[in-house]
Amino acid sequence: MTKQPEAIYLKDYQVPAFLIDHTELRFELEASRTLVKARLTMRCNPDSHQKTRVLELQGDKALRLCRVSVNDQVLNEQDYKRHDQGLEISHVPDEFILETVVEIDPDQNTALEGLYRSDGIYCTQCEAEGFRRITFYLDRPDVMSIFSTTIEADKTAYPVMLSNGNPVAQGEADDGRHWITWEDPHPKPAYLFALVAGDLKRVEDQYTTSGGRDVALHIYAANKDLNKLDYAMQSLKNAMRWDEEVYGREYDLDIFMIVAVDFFNMGAMENKGLNVFNTSCVLASPDTTTDLGFQRVEGVVAHEYFHNWSGNRVTCRDWFQLSLKEGFTVFRDSEFSADLNSPTVKRVEDVTVLRTAQFAEDAGPMAHPILPASFIEIANFYTMTIYEKGAEVVRMIHTLLGADAFRQGSDLYFSRHDGQAVTTEDFVKAMEDASGRDLTQFRNWYHQAGTPVLAVSDEFDAASQTYRLTVAQSCPATPGQAIKAAYHIPVAIGLLDSEGEDLVLPNGKTTQVLELHDSEQTFEFTGITEKPVPSLLRGFSAPVKLHYPYTRDNLTFLMSHDSDGFNRWEAAQKLAVNILQALIEDFQHGRELVLDSQLGDAFKVVLANVDLDKAMVAKVLSLPSEAYISELSDVIDVDAIHTVRQFVRQQLALQLEAEFVASYQACTLEDIYSPDAASIARRSLRNVCLSYLMETGKQDFLELALKQFHEANNMTDSQAALYIVVHSGYQKAGEVILDQFYQRWSDEPLVVNQWLSVQASNPQAGVLTHVEALMNHEAFNMRNPNKVRSLIASFCAQNPVNFHAIDGSGYRFLADQIIVLNKLNPQIASRLVTPLTRWKRYSADRQGLMRKELQRITDSGDLSRDVFEVVSKSLA
Ligand code: PHE
Ligand code: ZN
């Protein structure tokens, strides 16, 4: 029996006993036998109370230790202890030089943490605890050091060799090898270290900061992808400008580099001066990339760039503080994307993700506060909660303080803590100090998990012309937290008169932020002459579930009149949810499904309004996803949800066929593709119309879709047509174009990934057999996380009816894959478990089947910490 992994606790945090002032690394890169020589200038930490002489370094068990010396004295085996997690050296002096030589094998590294090879390119991934797979070190973010890195490798295979900072020397070595030394002047924790070596090509540009620093911008990729880097470059320059204008943050080195690699566990990584990107988040071209892909590139490039301040210059004290950098940086990148495109569309997209995936997480066995109190494996905490809820919490501070005070707060935070490793508490304190606001109660958002629920009721008293809104808050229990203290919640509201005009509120404006502190609170508005319709939680001012007894008429009224664009969309969502839920009940009771015309009529009004942003029209017309309806259900009835949603789509298609045709035709296409907001909006509305038209089952529309597939001059339109045809159950036509699509794009891995995921998410019966066959296709590779996500994760998370097949086949399939991946790539394996962890939300028969598979994973033995944590917590 191997020992069960143990949790570590925030309350046990201690400052490091030793510090590393300088880190000099030398890499001799060689397939399967790479030498890493480290020379660390170390000393006792004067701030530490542990007066210890024992130096404990982290180091993965795969490190082969060749040599260790302290102050040039080679140590014998009795001077140190090598154990599974590291190295213990007894009796070190106050100040010393520690030198180690280790051997590692990048080619055996399938976990993609530490140093590995991605399609012949050496690269590293050190966040969170990957540096210990490269060398023995104090691998914790509060140990910050100045790095100097020398790389030596074969010149032909690895002409480009990169690390953080600036290149300071280079030369030739024996046997056709060459070397280069990079120096990074900014002290940094090991998780921000990076090294890349390979046959890479680059595009170059240049940026002059507001302070006059000339910065060289280099984006590297494989030669064949060189034509797909322009959009990332433009996005980078936009992000650099925006961070100067909005946050007063300038770049701080003479060179900024991005490298694209195909094997990557996450989206991208903010290593100092050398960001490493998943190809899926940096490559973009009209032929191969959808609008969504372009937007992702823009957002992720900005996100990683923004980390240079929110994460690198000011970093995290420990990994419990992860949301300090991630929540803040997601908030920053979403404001950036909102500013450059459409703020309302961006808000709708963010809220949709939050309410679907994060709310589900917050209601499940892995629920945790944005500042967790404990974890077993930190890699499991790169979650929707840390990122997206974390961003919402920062957004609420922004809402409470206002833009100006928030900026003063962020300025104070950056200046007070520049070069430090700090806590979320330091962030909140800076916001308080700069604004004079008291955020004591607000801090509950950091410590409590779960999604708060607001129940709103109102009353109007005509005699005293008084309108009262009563808001009650509660928060469901989450693992380890039965009782929750009341939150401080900003609730932005407006009041509409019967004409649909905004009333002027006590603050003199038409939107006012009510601050909720108590478990129940009443807000009074006087001088009101008729009962208003409240527009609640405008812009989704807090990550909560809000209930108010809106009638369907209220909702259609808000859909056309609310001055808050977000809430117009929200009214449409609420109306659709309301109708879908009622029909789901009908379905469950065997009653005939009948859709009255109210939703269609409301949609008709929206389609006819030429003043509306087409992107918003598309969003309003898109029914809430099956995943969102599931999240709102007490017991998730997969089949009822799917059948009813399809039924409603079909009814709407029949009712609005003429309107959909007209809108489809009105959204004319440009000859030249452009990923600007207006063009994206036209394409999205056009494709929503097409998808409805296909529901009519009419041959004409199949032909229209096929025509679009063949004639499209961009990936968005051709892929949308492919998706629509395949998912509408035209099996023959679907097979033909799937084949054509693959033939055309087999050289473009990112397009092939889309091809895999269109098939894996197909709700038609029998798809699992097809998915299993695709696992043996040349296009699939279990070692490449993008392939695993496109095929396996798409099937398990994007195909509810097939994944939850009542014979348990979907669950069995997933467990089989997790057992394999647990050994190859624990991080990816553990992420894949998610759909099984939600077993409590389903009916008893499915619960039993899902638990059985979780148990089978447990029994398969030798679980990684990653998978162990998720599986054991979800069975607890
Ligand atoms: N820190 C990365 C980000 O920008 C995410 C990441 C985490 C990447 C861990 C790799 C490994 O969000
Ligand atoms: Zn990040």
Probe target for ligand 1 pocket from 264, 269, 388, with the most ligand atoms within 8 Å of CB: 269
User: What value does the mean pLDDT of the chain take?
Assistant: 98
Please give the Cα distance from 690 to 134 (Å, whole number): 52
Taking residues 66-85, what's their average pLDDT? 96
Which of 288, 1, 339, 315 has the alpha carbon at shortest distance from 127?
315
Q: Whose CA is nearest to atom 7 of ligand 1?
A: 127
Taking residues 407-433, what's their average pLDDT? 99
> 254 C-alpha vs ligand 1 centroid, how far in Å?
24
**Residue 663 domain-assigned (yes or no):** no
Identify the three-state secondary structure at position 335: helix
Residue 1 has pLDDT above 50, yes or no: no
**CB of 125 shorter than 6 A to ligand 1:** yes
> CATH number for the domain including 517?
2.60.40.1840
**Residue 517 domain-assigned (yes or no):** yes
Residue 314 has pLDDT above 60, yes or no: yes
- ipTM score over 0.95, yes or no: yes
Note whether 442 and 461 are same-domain residues.
no
Residue 51 has pLDDT above 90, yes or no: no
**CB of 150 shorter than 6 A to ligand 1:** no
**Residue 46 domain-assigned (yes or no):** yes
Query: Which structure tokens are listed for 582?
Result: 């009622």
Main-chain dihedrals φ then ψ at residue 30, nearest 5 degrees: -155, 135
CB 689 within 8 A of CB 627: no
Q: Whose CA is nearest to atom 5 of ligand 1?
A: 269
**CB of 269 shorter than 6 A to ligand 1:** yes
Identify the three-state secondary structure at position 576: helix
**CB of 382 shorter than 6 A to ligand 1:** yes
**CB of 127 shorter than 6 A to ligand 1:** yes
Confidence (pTM): 0.99
Q: Using the Cα atoms of residue 602, residue 608, residue 609 and residue 613 in order, give the sign of their dihedral.
A: positive
Look at residues 635, 655, 675 and tell me which one is the last residue of a structural domain: 655
Please give the Cα distance from 445 to 490 (Å, whole number): 12
Look at 5-9, 47-51, 290-294, 376-380 and tell me which has the smallest mean pLDDT.
Answer: 47-51
Atom of ligand 1 nearest to the CA of 303: 4
Taking residues 613-638, what's their average pLDDT? 98
Q: Which one of the ligands is nearest to 123 CA?
A: 1
Atom of ligand 1 nearest to the CA of 379: 9
CB 829 within 8 A of CB 788: no
| pLDDT bucket at 31, cuts 50 / 70 / 90 | confident
Query: Could you report how far apart the first and last alpha carbons of the chain are, in Å?
Result: 20
Note whether 50 and 175 are same-domain residues.
yes
Radius of gyration in angstroms for the set of CA atoms belonging to the chain, rounded to a whole number? 28
Would you state the pLDDT for residue 2? Answer: 55
Note whether 559 and 537 are same-domain residues.
no
HEC readout, 483-552: CCCCCCEEEEEEEECCCCCECCCCCCCCCEEEEECCCEEEEEEECCCCCCEEECCHHHCCCCEEECCCCH
Atom of ligand 1 nearest to the CA of 311: 1
CB 545 within 8 A of CB 453: yes
Atom of ligand 1 nearest to the CA of 268: 8
Q: Which one of the ligands is nearest to 391 CA?
A: 2
Phi-psi region of 203 (alpha: psi -120 to 50; beta: other; left: phi over 0): beta
pLDDT (tens digit per residue) in 590-603: 999 999 999 999 99
Please say if 304 is a catalytic residue: yes
| For the chain, percent of residues with pLDDT exceeding 90 | 98
HEC readout, 304-331: HHHCCCECCCEEECCHHHHHHHHHHHHH
Would you state the pLDDT for residue 52? Answer: 84
Taking residues 504-510, what's their average pLDDT? 98
Number of domains the chain contains: 5
Taking residues 22-42, what's their average pLDDT? 97
**Residue 795 domain-assigned (yes or no):** no
Note whether 190 and 60 are same-domain residues.
yes
CB 294 within 8 A of CB 239: no
> 842 C-alpha vs ligand 1 centroid, how far in Å?
32
Note whether 194 and 46 are same-domain residues.
yes
Note whether 235 and 270 are same-domain residues.
yes
Q: Whose CA is nearest to atom 11 of ligand 1?
A: 127
Taking residues 369-373, what's their average pLDDT? 98
Q: Whose CA is nearest to atom 1 of ligand 1?
A: 269
**Residue 531 domain-assigned (yes or no):** yes
> 381 C-alpha vs ligand 2 centroid, how far in Å?
12
Note whether 164 and 244 are same-domain residues.
no
Q: Which one of the ligands is nearest to 330 CA?
A: 2
Note whether 259 and 228 are same-domain residues.
yes
Taking residues 651-675, what's their average pLDDT? 95
Note whether 560 and 639 are same-domain residues.
yes
Probe target for ligand 1 pocket from 270, 312, 321, 333, with the most ligand atoms within 8 Å of CB: 270
Residue 776 has pLDDT above 60, yes or no: yes
Q: Which of 24, 28, 304, 432 is catalytic?
A: 304
Residue 70 host element (H or E) = strand 64-70
**Residue 13 domain-assigned (yes or no):** yes
- Asked if the peptide bond before residue 169 counts as cis, ω within 30 degrees of 0, the response is no
> 875 C-alpha vs ligand 2 centroid, how far in Å?
30
Please give the Cα distance from 495 to 567 (Å, whole number): 12
**Residue 782 domain-assigned (yes or no):** no
pLDDT (tens digit per residue) in 686-742: 999 999 999 999 999 999 999 999 999 999 999 999 999 999 999 999 999 999 999
**Residue 629 domain-assigned (yes or no):** yes
Which of 541, 606, 543, 528 has the alpha carbon at shortest distance from 573?
606
**CB of 123 shorter than 6 A to ligand 1:** no
**CB of 266 shorter than 6 A to ligand 1:** yes
∠ CA 594-599-602, nearest 5°, is 155
**CB of 278 shorter than 6 A to ligand 1:** no
Would you state the pLDDT for residue 764? Answer: 97
Q: CA dist 568 to 564, 573, 607, 660, 868, Å? A: 6, 9, 14, 21, 44
pLDDT (tens digit per residue) in 86-129: 999 999 999 999 999 999 999 999 999 999 999 999 999 999 99
* Owning domain of residue 404: 315-447
Length of the chain: 876
pLDDT (tens digit per residue) in 631-642: 999 999 999 999
Residue 612 has pLDDT above 50, yes or no: yes
Look at residues 226, 256, 278 and tell me which one is the last residue of a structural domain: 278
Q: CA dist 228 to 287, 477, 500, 671, 742, Å? A: 10, 48, 48, 19, 20
Query: Quick one: 720 exposed, middle or buried, by C-beta within 10 A (0-12, 13-18, 19+)?
Result: buried
Note whether 552 and 527 are same-domain residues.
no
**CB of 326 shorter than 6 A to ligand 1:** yes
Q: Whose CA is nearest to atom 9 of ligand 1?
A: 127
Main-chain dihedrals φ then ψ at residue 157, nearest 5 degrees: -75, -30
Note whether 141 and 253 are same-domain residues.
no
Residue 321 has pLDDT above 90, yes or no: yes
Please give the Cα distance from 94 to 43 (Å, whole number): 5
CB 813 within 8 A of CB 854: no
> 333 C-alpha vs ligand 2 centroid, how far in Å?
10
Please give the Cα distance from 279 to 748 (Å, whole number): 11
> 382 C-alpha vs ligand 1 centroid, how far in Å?
8
Question: Strand 255-261 to strand 195-198: parallel, antiparallel, or no bridges (unpaired)?
Answer: unpaired
> 828 C-alpha vs ligand 1 centroid, how far in Å?
13
Q: How many helices (H) and strands (E) does the chain have?
A: 31, 31
Q: What is the largest CA-CA distance in the chain?
A: 95
Look at residues 595, 624, 655 and tell me which one is the last residue of a structural domain: 655
Query: Which structure tokens are listed for 820?
Result: 């394999």
Please give the Cα distance from 705 to 737 (Å, whole number): 11
Note whether 368 and 496 are same-domain residues.
no
